[in-house]
């Protein structure tokens, strides 16, 4: 079955093991969202303390070479525990035959979760999952910068915290549009403040709390790096990146900040194309641009087109995927290469 992206969160919240389909396909460019969804489904399906044999993780390359393996693993229920979850990781492009065999005779006490990349509508495994009544296809797209504030506020309220308006603006600027990373940052913030019970009066998160948990100086350097990259300042971008890394910030940590900025540039350029004034369109930045950054962003709007920005976003997402699971040296290389490539592309 097919589910629209805006309905995924509600479906995940209502997910129960007893009504689970036989197969769930998680796909889309938001790698963090896909990973977080797989973790949430595992916990909901198997419970807090499952037998280790109730969970099996397979690479899609292994499954593609032996398509019957997926059904065999799902059907092998362990002695202790009455259910099993088989988690397939990879791009998802090579598991269609295995998924087809599984869905032809789905085991009653097992769930298969396939974690995939950004599958096209024509991808065989996506078409299979969307068209089968024993499967569910869940898409995960990058959050728009405008979506972060309500999601962060909702999460914090669920943990019995309110947040000051100024603190929320700064929090949004420091959170990534990658759901998985955003979730972990919000959890760190709650752990710093302390877990609260439903009976407790709601506490307040302040700007000082945001600075303590998510840092202030590093964010300033990230903003500098973002503006150097988007403004085509190749040497300065390289210099600021070196400063970030030497201060303990991994190079790949800059990618979400760059992606968020370019997503907003894309939005602003689109609004300007439809007749919105530049000043009005620039109000889309959250938090609002500091007056010192406005001239820099105005220059960036002259350097970039929506088409160039879309290509830049694609390159950043590719780099983020390449950094996943890579060694620190390789992740640094991937991140540094794409950041310098973008800064060179700005003036072409």
Distance from C-alpha of 164 to C-alpha of 296, rounded to nearest angstrom: 28
Asked if residues 159 and 195 have their Cβ atoms less than 8 Å apart, the reply is yes
Could you say which of 139, 170, 189 is where a domain stops? 139
Identify the band that residue 92 occupies on the pLDDT scale cut at 50, 70 and 90. Answer: low
Tell me the per-residue pLDDT of 183-201, one tens digit each, with 9 for 90 and over.
Answer: 888 998 999 999 888 888 8
Check: pTM over 0.75? Answer yes or no.
Answer: no
Here the tokens at position 255 are 């990618």
If asked whether residues 171 and 188 sit together in one domain, one would say yes
If asked whether residues 177 and 252 sit together in one domain, one would say no
Question: What SS3 class is residue 232?
Answer: coil
Identify the band that residue 65 occupies on the pLDDT scale cut at 50, 70 and 90. Answer: confident
Q: The domain spanning residue 309 has which CATH number?
A: 1.20.272.10
**Looking at residues 306-327, what average pLDDT do you find?**
88
Greater confidence (327 vs 130) lies with 130
Asked if residues 10 and 145 have their Cβ atoms less than 8 Å apart, the reply is no
Tell me the per-residue pLDDT of 215-237, one tens digit each, with 9 for 90 and over.
Answer: 655 555 788 899 999 999 998 88
- Which backbone phi and psi does 26 adopt, to 5 degrees? -110, 120
Q: The domain spanning residue 195 has which CATH number?
A: 1.10.8.60
Distance from C-alpha of 226 to C-alpha of 343, rounded to nearest angstrom: 9
If asked whether residues 135 and 154 sit together in one domain, one would say no
Tell me the per-residue pLDDT of 140-177, one tens digit each, with 9 for 90 and over.
Answer: 887 776 778 888 998 999 899 999 988 888 888 777 76
Distance from C-alpha of 348 to C-alpha of 170, rounded to nearest angstrom: 33
Q: Half-sphere exposure of 129 toward its Cβ, with a 13 Å CA cutoff? A: 32
Could you say which of 139, 173, 192 is where a domain stops? 139
Distance from C-alpha of 83 to C-alpha of 79, rounded to nearest angstrom: 10
Expressed as residue numbers, the domain containing 273 is: 217-345
**Looking at residues 127-139, what average pLDDT do you find?**
95
Q: What's the pLDDT at 145?
A: 65
Here the tokens at position 254 are 């800059």
Asked if residues 176 and 33 have their Cβ atoms less than 8 Å apart, the reply is no
If asked whether residues 122 and 189 sit together in one domain, one would say no
Q: What's the CA dihedral at 73, 31, 327, 310 to 10 degrees?
A: 140
If asked whether residues 195 and 282 sit together in one domain, one would say no
If asked whether residues 39 and 61 sit together in one domain, one would say yes
If asked whether residues 171 and 55 sit together in one domain, one would say no
Number of domains in the chain: 3
Q: What's the pLDDT at 243?
A: 77
Mean of per-residue pLDDT scores for the chain: 87
Q: The domain spanning residue 51 has which CATH number?
A: 3.40.50.300
Tokens 């669920």 sit on residue = 158
Secondary structure (DSSP) of 79-127: SSSS-EEEEEES-STT-HHHHHHHHHS--TTEEEEEE-----TT-HHHH
Tell me the per-residue pLDDT of 196-215, one tens digit each, with 9 for 90 and over.
Answer: 888 888 899 998 888 788 76
Asked if residues 347 and 231 have their Cβ atoms less than 8 Å apart, the reply is no
Here the tokens at position 183 are 């979730």
Task: Spell out the residues 6+ positions from residue 217 whose beta carbon is closer than 8 angstroms to its own.
Answer: 247
Could you say which of 139, 166, 198 is where a domain stops? 139
Asked if residues 26 and 36 have their Cβ atoms less than 8 Å apart, the reply is no
């Amino acid at each position: 079955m097919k589910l629209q992206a805006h309905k995924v969160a509600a479906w995940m919240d209502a997910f129960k093991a007893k009504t689970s389909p036989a197969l769930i396909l998680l796909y889309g460019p938001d790698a963090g969202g896909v990973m977080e969804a797989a973790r949430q489904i595992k916990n909901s399906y198997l419970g807090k303390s499952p037998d280790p044999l109730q969970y099996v993780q397979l690479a899609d390359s292994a499954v593609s070479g032996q398509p019957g393996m997926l059904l065999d693993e799902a059907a092998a229920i362990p002695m202790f525990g009455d259910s099993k979850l088989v988690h397939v990781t990879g791009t998802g492009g090579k598991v269609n035959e295995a998924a087809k065999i599984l869905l032809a005779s789905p085991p009653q006490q097992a769930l298969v979760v396939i974690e995939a990349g950004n599958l096209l509508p024509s991808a065989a495994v996506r078409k299979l999952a969307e068209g089968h009544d024993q499967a569910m296809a869940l898409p995960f797209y990058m959050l728009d910068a405008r979506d972060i504030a309500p999601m962060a506020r909702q999460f914090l309220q669920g943990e019995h915290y309110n947040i000051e308006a100024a603190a929320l603006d700064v929090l949004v600027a420091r959170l990534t549009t990658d759901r998985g990373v955003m979730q972990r940052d919000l959890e760190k913030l709650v752990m710093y403040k302390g877990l609260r019970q439903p009976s407790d009066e709601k506490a307040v998160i302040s700007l000082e709390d945001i600075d303590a948990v998510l840092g202030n100086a590093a964010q300033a350097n990230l903003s500098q790096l973002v503006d150097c990259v988007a403004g085509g300042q190749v040497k300065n971008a390289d210099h600021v990146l070196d400063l970030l890394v030497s201060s303990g910030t991994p190079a790949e940590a800059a990618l979400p900040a760059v992606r968020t900025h370019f997503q907003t540039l894309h939005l602003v350029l689109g609004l300007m194309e439809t007749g919105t004034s530049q000043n009005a369109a620039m109000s889309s930045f959250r938090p609002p641009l500091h007056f010192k950054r406005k001239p820099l962003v105005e220059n960036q709007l002259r350097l970039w087109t929506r088409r160039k920005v879309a290509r830049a976003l694609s390159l950043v997402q590719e780099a983020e995927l390449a950094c996943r699971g890579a060694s620190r040296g390789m992740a640094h290389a991937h991140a540094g290469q794409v950041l310098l490539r973008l800064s060179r592309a700005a003036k072409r």
